[in-house]
Amino acid sequence: MISLADKVALITGASRGIGAATARLFAQAGARGIVINYHANRDAAEAVREDCIAFGADAIVVRADVAKVSSVRAMVGKTVSRYGRLDIVVANAGIWKGAPIEEMSEAQWDETIDTNLKSVYATCSAAAAHMLSQGSGRIITVSSTAGQRGEAFHSHYAASKGGIISLTKALAAELGPRGIFVNSVAPGWVDTDMSAEPLASRAERRKIMSLIPLQRVATAEEIAGPILFLASDLSNGMTGEILNVNCGSVLCG
Ligand SMILES: NC(=O)c1ccc[n+]([C@@H]2O[C@H](COP(=O)([O-])OP(=O)(O)OC[C@H]3O[C@@H](n4cnc5c(N)ncnc54)[C@H](OP(=O)(O)O)[C@@H]3O)[C@@H](O)[C@H]2O)c1
């Protein structure tokens, strides 16, 4: 029923966590070609590639630092030269590092904004150039509850994710008339390497769970499912949407 047959997808930050789960799910949904972007973890990206191939997709791994516009442009160029088109982009790569505002250095601010937000500009800009010439395409950004209600001691992260939400809406309005859908998935806590440290602390975990109606964090696969929905024809009536996937946690914020 849900199918990505014949589609070519590029997923940033697909060596681990949500991006890796998305790549595997896209392969299971019949995608023809999958570009698995990584930055530091080539072996992990190769393992995701092998899984995608086992599900019947063609897949390649491409190293690119999403914080660098030229690096992202080169990756999108490689995708189009290999597959001849680009149907789906998931702008997922990101980092989450804490810093109190009074101690936050310019370098810390820039690293988070560049990796999480400038990267989405770079990815959408390079992808849109190809999608506009095709007259079709789907962009899914990965934002966060932090971009909706803020996050203490992670103000740069919250600002980057709030920026992604506005960017998603702006691009939906700009690109919709020309056949390109732009939506976002906004996860709450997800069980990945990114959140491993706070979730490993019993006290932190108890605090986190007290704010989640389902009393658990989501799995990476539970975020990949809604991303697949937004990448598929089943979401044809949606653009500019921010889809919350947070086990109910925005109800408590
Ligand atoms: N986990 C959560 O609780 C949570 C909650 C809300 C939103 N999110 C968002 O969901 C997205 C994915 O998070 P995750 O939990 O899956 O994180 P993760 O497990 O830490 O994985 C992060 C991914 O991003 C890649 N990456 C990091 N910096 C990069 C760069 N400069 N260039 C290219 N790739 C880069 C990593 O690649 P390498 O391993 O190759 O370096 C890795 O594949 C992020 O945007 C995050 O903000 C996560």
Q: 227 pLDDT exceeds 90? A: yes
Q: Looking at ligand 1, which atom is closest to the CA of residue 20?
A: 43
Specify the amino acid at residue 43: D
**Could you tell me the two tokens for 3?**
């199918």
Q: Give pLDDT, residue 253.
A: 62
pLDDT classification of 130: cutoffs 50, 70, 90: very high
Q: Give pLDDT, residue 192.
A: 98
Model confidence pLDDT, tens digit, residues 145-200:
999 999 999 999 999 999 999 999 999 999 999 999 999 999 999 999 999 999 99
Q: 223 pLDDT exceeds 80? A: yes
**CATH classification number, 8-192+220-247, choose in 2.40.50.140, 3.30.465.10, 3.40.50.720, 3.90.320.10:** 3.40.50.720
Q: Give pLDDT, residue 252.
A: 73
Coil, helix or strand for 183?
Answer: strand
Q: Which mutation among 75, 95, 194 tests ligand 1's pocket best, with the greatest number of atoms within 8 A of CB? A: 194
Q: Compute the mean pLDDT over every residue in the chain, rounded to the nearest whole number.
A: 97
Q: Which mutation among 48, 75, 95 tests ligand 1's pocket best, with the greatest number of atoms within 8 A of CB? A: 95
Averaged pLDDT, 40-58: 98
Q: Tell me the residue length of the chain.
A: 253
| Domain assignments of the chain as residue spans, ordered by start | 8-192+220-247
**Other Cβ atoms within 10 Å of 203 Cβ, number:** 8
Starting at the earlier edge strand, list the strands of the sheet with 180-187.
Answer: 58-63, 33-38, 8-11, 88-91, 137-142, 180-187, 242-245
How many Å lie between the centroid of ligand 1 and the Cα of residue 116?
9
Q: Looking at ligand 1, which atom is closest to the CA of residue 193?
A: 19
**pTM for the model:** 0.98
- % of the chain surpassing 90 pLDDT: 97
Pocket of ligand 1 (CB under 6 A): 12-19, 37-41, 65-67, 92-96, 115, 142, 144, 187, 189-190, 192-195
Averaged pLDDT, 57-72: 98
How many Å lie between the centroid of ligand 1 and the Cα of residue 177?
31
Q: Looking at ligand 1, which atom is closest to the CA of residue 16?
A: 43
How many Å lie between the centroid of ligand 1 and the Cα of residue 194?
7
- Write out the catalytic residue numbers: 157
Q: Give pLDDT, residue 250.
A: 80
Identify the sign of the CA torsion 157, 161, 162, 166: positive
Coil, helix or strand for 96?
Answer: coil
- % of the chain surpassing 70 pLDDT: 100
How many Å lie between the centroid of ligand 1 and the Cα of residue 95?
5
Contacts of 21 (CB under 8 A, 6+ apart): 219, 220, 221, 223, 224
Contacts of 180 (CB under 8 A, 6+ apart): 128, 131, 132, 136, 137, 138, 139, 171
How many Å lie between the centroid of ligand 1 and the Cα of residue 148?
18
